Each structure stands twice: as structure tokens, then as C-alpha cells.
Structure 1
Amino acid sequence: MKKCIAVIAAAALIMGTAAGCQSGGSSSTAVSKAASAAKSPTNITIWYENDQTIGDALQKQLDSLAPNVKVKLQRKDKMTDALKLVGNDTQGAPDMFFFAHDKAGIFAEMGILSPITDLISKDSLSDFIPMTLNAGTYKGTLYQLPIYFETQMFMYNKKLMKVPPKTTDELLKFAKENTKNGTYGFVEQHSTAYYAVSWMHAFGGYVIDKDSKPGLNLKGTIDSLSYHKQFVQYQPADGDYNTMTTLFKEGKAASTINLPNLAADAKNSGIDVGYATMPTIPSGKPLAPYSGVQGIYVLKSAGANKKDAVTQVLQTLAKPEAGIAMSKVTNDAPANNKSYADSEIASNEIVKTLKASADTVVPMPNVPAMDVMWSVTENMLTAVNKKNANPKTEADKAQQDALAQIADMK
């Protein structure tokens, strides 16, 4: 009898212990679930203004951050106006936005941006092409993480131009000899500021510098106007975008200077397109167009309140893989040098040509005063190229006009 009681007691003890273990396991699971629930994902909204395919490519790169960071790409028309409207309002503003570098100064002066190097280290940017970092730097502070860039290229129709010119004098000679019967040796948007600056830079001139000082009446700018004017007489007088691009796509222009998308369109039209480095002026300096860099900005409120999540987004987009993915969509050149190890990127003629120009192109000025310079510069170009006005007279007039308009901005 005693033995039976002892067995029953032992069994009760074992059952009690087992129940205790089960209770402890249930408590542990509950704590784990509570901790998991407490660590809810951080939501990051990124605005972009580009084509939907670009937003989709960015989204695909950033989906890897889930579930801890959930990123939503949202397309926004008229980005500059939208950001001016919402500022740092946490209810209406995004956390980050993907946009061109040339508005960095405007947004920085609004006080809405967080410096990129407050979130990721300078060392993590060591593989980036220096020009792309300089582009998004305003008053010594980097406000944009660059992803890719584009610039103008010298492209030619291989059927009409067998060997691309190495110098602008050679190009002028070719234009003279091959402009006839509705076909042209060379075409460009000769009186559009964005395209004419490549000639100004080669001669040592510029539209405006990083300190917001116009350079329209510099000797280099005036010299470029006088020299470049020789080319205009062998081109359609209007210098219009549609005219110039249509001529090249229809095989009626042997060569042009334009953006990569024209090369792609011309190829689709059956043109055998070749690419070459920019020709050099008599001094030996190459034509140096503006570059445009696309990248990511951080709103100050997000940099402060969602720092860890924002940092993860920046770290992801700083990887070579992000540049590779975006280049495959845009046909533009990655900002990260390591992206060029990818075989598809390395074999892309357009991308290779863009990359080769990275040391000579000039980032479009990102100072707010640049906004008034476009019309002032184009008025000068129109007078010189289309109305045969004196380059120095028009340059002096344009410089005074620019200074007055910049003063009115203050």
C-alpha cells in the first residue's frame, strides 16, 4: 500500500512539473509575440517624378528591406512645386525623394534637407565617380546620394560619316562639305542654353558658377559665341529640338550632339549609330556639356525621426547592384564605379561613352539663381545665332540682365 501511494505521489509530481514547463513555454511564446508586435515596421515614402519604370526599378531594389522597413515609391508630378508646398510637414511630405541634382540648392535653402553624410559615412562613398558627388554638393554639403548620370554625346550615322572628327575644325570642314540637298553634316540645338554650354566650357566660359556669379561676358564665353557661330550657318536656322532630332532619326543628318535617348530612338528607326568622344577646339580642350545626376534626397524630418530606416535605404541604393539595375532601365551611367564590373553594363556602348566623359563634363549648376539664367542665356544665343548680332555686345547685355534678375531674387 505504501509503495502504491509513493508511485501515485511521484506521478503527480511529474505531471506538475510538466504542467509547469508547459506554462513557462506558453509565457515565453507570449513574450516573443509581444516583442515582435512591439517592433512594427518603419514605413518610408519616396517620391519620384520620372517614368514609372524607374519607380518600379527602385521599388524592386528596396523591397529587400522588408519586413523591418517597408518602402513605398510614389510618383509625383511637378516635384519642385510639391515640395515647396509641403516642406517638412510630416503629414504631407515624403521621407525621401528621387530627383535631379540641379535643384539641391533650392531645397537646401528651404531648410528641408538632411545631409547625406549625417546618415552614411563618407568612406561608404569612396567608390563613387567624384563628379556625381560634386553635383549634389551645395555650399560644401552633400545633399544627394547619386545613382546614375546622363550627359550629351557625340553620335553619328555610320552610313553618312565613316570616321568621326577628333577636332571641331574637322567637324566644321565636314559640315561644309556634306550640307546640301536637304541633308546636313552636323546638327544641334545651337541656340538652346543647355546645348550651347559645351562650347562655352571648352573656351573657359560658363553660364554661372557655384557662387551664383554669371559668366556671360567672360572672354571665354564671348570667344565661344564667335567660334560656334561658324557652325550655325550649316544647320537649320531654328535650331529646334524636333527639327534636329527628326533629321538624325530620318538619316538626313550625319552627326549630332544630344542625349542618350536620341541614340536609342535613332537605332529603333534603323540608323546605325556610332559614338565618339567630344571633339576638341583649337586649344585642345574638348567640348564639355552639362551632366545631370539622378539620386536620392532625405527630408530633415525623416533624417531625425526615422534615421535607422533611412540609413538602410541609403545603404541599399549605394550598392553597385542599384546602379546596375537602374542603368539597365535608363541606359544611363551608374554613379558607383563598381557597377561597371557587370558584363551587360560594361558592354553597353552608350553607357561606356557616358562613363568616359565623366572627367570632362560639368555638373549643371545647382544654385537657385540658375533658374533665371536659362532665358537670359537663350536670349543672347538667339540674338547672336539667328539675328547676326555682335557676340560681345549681346554678352555684355545678357550679363547685366542676369545680375539684375539675380538681385531681384534676394
Structure 2
Amino acid sequence: MPMNRRTILKQLAGTTAVGALAGCVGVSETDSTQTSEQSGAEGDDGSEETTAGAETESAGPSGTFTLWHQRAEAEKEALEANAETFTSETAHTAKPAEIADLRKKTTSAIPAGQGAGMFDWAHDWTGEYYQNGFLSDQSDQLDVDLSVYTRPAQEAVQFDGATVALPYAAETVGLIYNREMVDEAPETIADMKAIMEEYHDPENWMYGLSYPLNAYFMSAWAHAFGGYYFDESNVELGLSNEATLDGFQFILDNFVPYQPKDTGYDPQAAVFLEGNAPFAINGPWFLGDVRSNDIDAGIARLPSPEGDAEPEPYTTVKQLYFTSTLEGDEATAAASRAFAEWYTTDTDVLSANAEEFGYIPVHKELASSSDLPEAVQGFSESVSLGTPIPTHPNMGDVWGPLEDAFNSVKNGDAELESAFTKAEENIRSNWE
């Protein structure tokens, strides 16, 4: 079962991860009754009501749709403002609705025909949800050409030739540095280690690095030397491949010695937020905490190892999914498509998201823009190096055994190759 991305980022380093990465945190508890009251667009059984009305210019009959999300408070407020703008300027009505447990809600309501027209989450659910019949192929109905998005974003919203979502942002990890300690970002791991050596003093609660060691965060180095976790085209594991093991060993040799012993998200984050480490490897979701703690931080791509190796972190694409409840309901489908097309291509909306929340644009016009905020440009460089998380349903079984294997090696309980060979055996048994 895929996990909440924020859960793995904040809680699962050093524990068992059971799924892929997606979604947001900071949500309030919202039951189905509250959701119905929020949306104003669902009947007592959760099904969507649609309104008849004038035809929009290009999207068919007007309609009302609900958009389920699990966003943090500030991001939620921005989405609601966007929905109001869209509603006021079109014949459609957009109704964002906050859901406390989006995975539970989508997997229970959509099969029963009671789901929202769209939901907001990252791309890692694409394959599983499409194969389970939860998503709707809107390929022939969209007015936007997918070529306006970056190539990874185009790939993220498609599965088996079906277009089941539209993308609006990307996320990945990058290097965050404290400008009071570091003048400029190091370009190489060797340069980074020299600075970490200077500051690392555990007896005085100083460390060289803040770096949660979960599968998502570690992917950059597992891929850097030609390795991989999972090849979805061949449904093949690569955890015990020599190149992948080289990446895990690289982490053990170059980062672990400079970190607090507890490599979970919160202990690692605290070190940087308290001003006790010059570097953090983390993502744009971390920037709010950085600013709240008055850390003057710079953002850069991950440094390069020696030789031809380059870090290739996993990236996630945030997208608006079309659900199967749209089938046979053209008014709701038209409204959903119109909003998704507008939200994912309007440069004012995308620029505001980048400025306020560090969203990394996947719209080609903005993705390489020099006008993006400095922090976003730094993460955008890491995205350009990265590779999207596989959308194949089998990927969900990879995370937990991978993290268990790495932790057993880090703690001195197993040898590297044998630990990951065993992890692959466990994963394959789950597939069977």
C-alpha cells in the first residue's frame, strides 16, 4: 500500500516504508460529513451533483466538480482562492474539499461511485489506481497539448496510453546550506566533506549534515553510479546490483559519519533548524520550517561525486487526477478538465505557487525561467538531474524491505550484499 509522501519524508527514515511518495501534510481531521459540507457538491451518498447551464467556450456543458486534496493550511487557502477565481470567470463551479486520509477516501469512495471528480496527489499512484479502475482516461477530451509540460511530467500523467491527470509541479531533494556557515554551495562531495569536517563536533551538538535516510532521500546515490531500485519496464529489481550497492556504500562512507545517529526525519531536520549543521539534504516542503526558524538558507543541486557519476534523485510530479466517477457525467467532466487545464497552464497561478510554496514548475515556459525564486531554481536543477518514481503498482513493495536492509547494514547487523539480496527475495515473495 503506497504511503503518504510526507509520512515517509518526516517519519519513515530508519523505519519500514510501505509505499511510494505523494501528497501533503499539515491537514486537519475532516470526516465525510465535513467534507460534504465543505464541498457543497456531493449528495448524501457522496456522489457529485452537477448543474446544467450555458456552454463554456470549449469544454462542453457547465458543471460543478469536487476536488479532493490533503494540503497544508497555506496551500489549501491558495487552492481555495484559485477555485473562486476559476468559478467567477467560467460557467463552471470548483469545490475544493480537504480530506484527512486521501488514500483511504479514494480507495473506498471511488469504487462505490461516490468519489470526487478529481483529486490532488503525486504521480506514484497512477499505475495502481488506473489498473484498479479508479481513474478516467481523458486523452480524447483534453484541449491542452501535453507538450506544454516537461517530458517527465508528460510521462507521469500517462499509463498504458491513457492520460489520467494533468501535472502542475515537481518535487525532489536538493542541498540546503546555512549561509552563516557556508559562503557558497559546494559543487563536489569532496568540497562538501571539507566543510562538514570543519563543523562536525557531536560532543557539542554540532554536526556536518542533516539528512533523513529513507529510500526516497537515498535514491540520488543509488542511481548515481548506474544502479536502480526497480525497472518498471521489465518489472525487475536492482537492489543487489553492484552499481546500486556502490551507491548505498557511498552514503555509508560519505554522509553517515557526519550525521546524528538517529537518521529519522525529525531528529535530522532539528539539527539544521537549530543552526547546528551547515548542510541539509531535503526538499521544498522543508523551506517553511527553515524560514520559520530564521535560517538564511541557500538552495543548490546535489553535489557530484568524483568521476562521471551524477546524483539522480527520485522526483515526484504533483498532479490533478481525473477519477472514474466522471464517466457518463459530461458536465462534471467538462468542469474538471477545464479547471485542470487552467490550473496547470496559467503562468500567474504557477508563478505564485513557486513564489509562495516552492513548487517547482513543470510547465516548459517556466521550468527553465531565470525569473523563478532562487530556492525554486536550486530545486529545479535537482529535478532536471532526477528520475520520476516508477508508477508500476509493484513499486509499492520495494520501499520497506529496502529501508530494512539499509538500516541493518548501517547498524552493523548485516553485510551490504547479503542484506539487499535478502530484501529482493522478500519483495519478490510479496509480488507472488
TM-score range, shorter chain: 0.7 to 0.9
Give the Cα separation in 1 of the matches to 2:53 and 2:374.
Answer: 50
Post-superposition Cα deviations, 1:197-247, rounded to whole Å, max 9, x if no partner, equal 111011222222224422111111111122221121222122121111111
The alpha-carbon deviation at position 140 of structure 1 amounts to 4.1
Quote how far apart the aligned CAs of 1:145 are. 0.5
Q: Confirm or deny that 1:113 pairs with 2:135.
A: yes
Which stretches in structure 2 are left out of the alignment for 5+ residues? Answer: 1-51, 56-60
Q: Counterpart of 2:181?
A: 160
* CA–CA separation in structure 2 for the residues paired with 1:268 and 1:75: 24
Q: Is the 8 A contact 2:54 2:91 kept in 1?
A: no
Please give the per-residue CA displacement for 1:275-305, whole angstroms capped at 9, x wherever unaligned: 2221112233322222122111112331542
Structure 1 residue 406 corresponds to structure 2 residue 431:
yes
Aligned identity (percent) is 23
| Paired residue type of 2:350 | G
Among candidates 266, 269, 274, match of residue 245 of structure 1 = 269
Is 1:274 paired with 2:291? no
Greater percentage in helix: 1
Deviation, 1:389, is 2.9
| Unmatched tracts of structure 1, length 5 or more | 1-35
Equivalent of 2:157 in 136, 143, 168:
136
Taking the TM superposition and a 5 Å limit, the aligned residue runs for 1:4-403 are 41-63=62-84, 64-66=86-88, 68-90=91-113, 92-121=114-143, 124-180=145-201, 181-190=204-213, 192-211=214-233, 212-230=235-253, 231-306=255-330, 307-319=333-345, 320-339=347-366, 346-387=371-412, 389-403=414-428
Residue 8 of structure 1: aligned partner: none
Between 1:322-331 and 1:232-241, the stretch displaced more is: 322-331
> Residues 112 and 321 of structure 1: is their aligned pair in 2 closer, same or farther, counting only changes over 3 Å?
same
Mapped to 2, the partners of 1:335 and 1:341 lie a distance apart of: 9
Q: Cα 1:99–1:347, aligned 2, differ >3 Å: closer, same or farther?
A: closer
Does the 8 Å CA contact 1:188/1:256 hold for their aligned counterparts?
A: yes
Partner SS state of residue 393, structure 2: coil
Task: Report deviation, 1:332.
Answer: 1.4
Deviation string, structure 1 residues 332-386 (Cα, Å, up to 9, x no partner): 11221334699xx924111111222232112122222222222101111101112
Q: Residue 369 of structure 1 contacts residue 406 of structure 1 at CA under 8 Å; is this kept in 2?
A: yes
Distance change >3 Å, CA 318–CA 233, structure 1 → 2:
closer
Question: TM (normalized to structure 2)?
Answer: 0.78
Q: Which amino acid aligns with 2:225?
A: F
Cα distance in 1, alignment partners of residues 417 and 368 from structure 2: 48
Count residues in correspondence. 367
Change in Cα spacing, 1:189 to 1:406, as seen in structure 2 (3 Å) is: same
- Contact preservation (8 Å) 1:199, 1:288: yes
**Distance in 2 between residues matched to 1:115 and 1:71, nearest whole Å:** 20
Residues 119 and 303, structure 1, Cα contact 8 Å, conserved in 2: no
Question: Which SS does the other structure have where 2:398 is aligned?
Answer: helix
Q: Are the equivalent residues in 2 in contact too, given 1:321–1:339 (CA < 8 A)?
A: no
Partner letter of residue 107 of structure 1? Y
Tell me whether 154-163 or 175-184 shows the greater mean CA deviation. 175-184
> Cα 1:55–1:250, aligned 2, differ >3 Å: closer, same or farther?
closer
SS, match of residue 147 in structure 1 = strand
Report the CA distance between 1:195 and its aligned residue. Answer: 1.1
Give the TM-score normalised by the residue count of structure 1.
0.82
In structure 2, do the counterparts of structure 1 residues 173 and 339 end up closer, same or farther at CA, with 3 Å as the change threshold?
closer
